[in-house]
A and B are shown apart, each in its own frame.
Chain A
Amino acid sequence: MAYPPPLPAVAVHALAIGHGERPSPLVEGIEFSVAPGEIFAIIGCSGCGKSTLLRTMVGLLPLLAGTVLLFGKKMVTVDCAGHGALTRNFSVLFQGGALWTDRTLGENVALPLLRRGGFSPKEVRDLVDCKLSLVGLGAYADFYPHEISGGMARRAALARALALDPPLLFLDEPTSGLDPVAARRLDRLVAELCSCQGMAAVVVSHDLAEIGGIVTRAAFLDANSGTMLDIGSPAALARSPHGAVREFFCENHANPQPEETVP
C-alpha cells in the first residue's frame, strides 16, 4: 500500500510581503516549501524583510499577493475567523522572547495550555515542569522574566512556544543579542527538539555563522532587488551565482564565532 507523501509544513507560493498600508511590496515572488522535520532558514541583510515574511506567514500581517499553506491549510490573518484553528499547527518564538512580563515563567508556559483547555491542573503542572526542564529552566518556574538573563528568557520563550507541542515552529532572530555560548546552546536545543519531536522549524536570522550548523536549507532575501535571490543548502548558497549571496556568506564566514568553552 502506498501512502501519500506528507504535506509540507509550510508551502509559500508567489508571495509578496510588505506593511499593510504601504502599496508597494517589500519583497515579492517568494517561493519555498518546508518539509516536516526540516529546519529551514530565511536569511538576508538587515531590513530585507525577513521578520516581515515571518509575521506574514503566521498571520500577523496581511499578505499582499500569493498564498501561504501550513500543512495544506491556507493561512489567514489573525483577525479572521479561521486563524484560531490554524494556530494549533504552529507556534512562534518572537524576537526578544516576548514573555508576558507580569507572569512567572511557569505561568507563561501554563497560559496557552489553560486557554486551549482539555488539561487537568495536574497535567498543566506536569507539562510546565517538563517544558521548562527541556530548556534547562526546571528550577526557574517561579521566576519573573525580569529576574532572569536574556538567554534564559529566550529559552523560557522557547518552552512556552513548545507548550502545545506544535508540529511547526517559527523563530524570529532567536539568538540576536545573546553571547556566542548562549546562542549556540539555544541553536543546539532547537535542533535537538526538532530532531526528537519531528518538528519543522523556520528560522529567521541575519547571522548565518550561528545557525548554519543546524539548518538544512535556507532562502536568501534581497532588499535591493526586492526578491528572493536564491534558495538551497548553506553549502550551495555559498557557491551561489548571485554576488550578493556570496558576499553575505563571505562576510559571515570572515568572522567565525569562537568555539564554545563551557559545556
Chain B
Amino acid sequence: MEETLPNPTIRLAGDWTAGVPADAATWFFQNRGQLVGREISVDVGAVAAWNGRLVAFLLRLRNLLRRDDGDLSWHGLPTGLAALLRMAENGQETSPMAVMGRAAEKVSKKNGGNSSEAGFCAFAFLGDLVRCLCRFFFGKVPTVGAGYGEIFYRVGVEGLPIVALISLLSGVIIGFVGIVQLARFGAAIYIADLVGLAMVREMAPLMTGIILAGRTAASFAATIGTMRCSGEVDALRIFSINPVAFLVLPRVLAVAWMAPILEIFSAFIGIGGGMVVALSLFDFSAVQYVQEMVSAVAMSDFFVGIGKALVFGLLTGGFGCLHGMRCERTAAGVGRGTTAAVVSAITAIVVADAIFSVLCHRLHM
C-alpha cells in the first residue's frame, strides 16, 4: 500500500477475503487524520482475492470521507466488484419519503415514542379494564365465545400441581428451620403456630402470586402478544369486539378468582408440610399440632391471606395482559413483553405485600 501526495492514491493489494488485512488496518488507523476531508482514489488492481468484505470496506471508507466533505473514487476494479459496488450504492440511496420517515422515527423514539400504532398506554389500559370490569358486574359485557371456562381451567386447575409442590416444600423448610431453633428453648410445639401463621398470612399468598406471575402472566403476555403479531387482535377490532373485554377481562377475572382458591389450597398443603416435619422429629400427636395451630391462627389471618391473593391475582393478570397488548409486533417484541410481564408482576407483588404488611400492622390485623 502506498500513498502519493497531494492527490493521494491508495493501492490495495493481497488477499481481502478475510476482511481488512492487519497491516492495512494499522496504516488506516495511523493515517486517518490525513485522510479527513480529502478526495482519495483507490486502486484495487493488485488485489488478489476479494469478497463482500472488500465491498463493505470501500463503501464504509467512502461514507466516512463524505461525512467530512471528502470523497473516494476507485479504479482498476474487477468486473464483478464494480457491479457489486454499483448495486450497493443504488441500494443506499433511498427515497426522500423513506428517509423522512426514518428521521421522524428516530425523533419519535428519542422522545420515548412507541413504534406500535396503538400507543397502548398503561393508564388507558387500566381505564379500559376498570370500565370493562364495572360493565361485567352489571352484566353488560357479552361473555359468549370468550372461552371463560378454558381460561379458568388453565389458570386454576393446571396450576394446582406446581402450587402444591412449592407450598409443601415451603412448609417443610419453615418447619425444619423453625423447629430446630424452638427446640433449644423447649418450645418445639410452637412450630405449629409458626408454620400456620407464616403459611396463612405470608407464604401461601406470596408463593401463589409468584407462581402465577411466572406461569400465568407469562402465558397471557405471550398469547396476546402473538395474537397482536398475527393480526388477530386487529381482526377482533374490525368485528367491533373490544380486545380488552374479549381477551383481557376473562384472563384478569380468572386469575383474580383462582388466586384466592389456590392460596387456600397452598396454605393447607404448607401447613401439612410443616406438620410432617414436626411429627417426624418430635413426639407430638397430629391432634396436638392442629389444636396448637388453631389456637394461634385466627380467621382474620385467613382473610388477610385471601385478600393478598386477590390483589396479587389482579396484579398478575393486569401486568400479563398489559405487556401482551403493548408489545411490539415482532418475535423479539413478544419475548420482551413476556419478560417484562413476569418481572413487573413479581415486583408489583412484592411491593404490594410490603404495603399489606404495613397496613395490617397499622390496622392491628
B54 to chain A, nearest CB (A): 30
Q: Are B145 and A114 in contact (CB under 8 A)?
A: yes
Question: Would you call B239 and A87 a contact (CB within 8 A)?
Answer: yes
User: How close is B115's CB to chain A, nearest CB, in angstroms?
Assistant: 7
> Chain B's nearest CB lies how many Å from the CB of A241?
20
Taking a contact as CB atoms under 8 Å apart, the answer to whether A23 and B104 are in contact is yes
B95-124 Cβ-contact flags toward A at 8 Å (1 or 0): 111101100110110000111010100000
| Smallest CB separation, B143 vs chain A (Å) | 10
B68 at the binding interface (Cβ < 8 Å): no
Q: Does any Cβ of A come within 8 Å of B299's Cβ?
A: no
Per-residue CB proximity of A89-108 to B under 8 Å, as 1/0? 00110111011111000010
Asked if B231 is at the interface of the complex by the 8 Å CB criterion, the answer is yes
Q: Which residues of B contact A111 (CB under 8 A)?
A: 145, 239, 241
Question: When the two chains form their complex, are residues A115 and B241 in contact, meaning their CB atoms are under 8 A apart?
Answer: yes
Q: Is the C-beta of A122 less than 8 angstroms from some C-beta in chain B?
A: no
How big is chain A's contact interface, by range?
35 or more
Interface residues of B in 226-284 (CB under 8 A from A): 227, 230-232, 234-235, 237-241
Q: What A residues does B240 contact at CB under 8 A?
A: 83-84, 87-88, 115-116
Find residues 223-253 in chain A having any chain B CB closer than 8 Å to their own CB. Answer: 223-226
**A-B pairs with beta carbons under 8 Å apart, 27 shown:** A19-B101, A19-B117, A20-B119, A21-B108, A21-B114, A21-B117, A23-B107, A24-B97, A24-B100, A27-B97, A87-B239, A87-B240, A88-B240, A92-B234, A92-B238, A94-B234, A98-B230, A100-B227, A100-B235, A101-B227, A115-B142, A115-B239, A116-B239, A117-B142, A223-B95, A224-B96, A225-B97
Chain A residues with a Cβ under 8 A of chain B: 18-24, 26-27, 47, 55, 58-61, 78, 83-84, 87-88, 91-92, 94-96, 98-102, 107, 110-112, 114-117, 160, 164, 223-226
Q: Which 10 A-B pairs have the closest CB atoms?
A: A98-B231, A22-B104, A87-B240, A84-B240, A226-B97, A112-B239, A224-B95, A78-B237, A21-B113, A21-B108
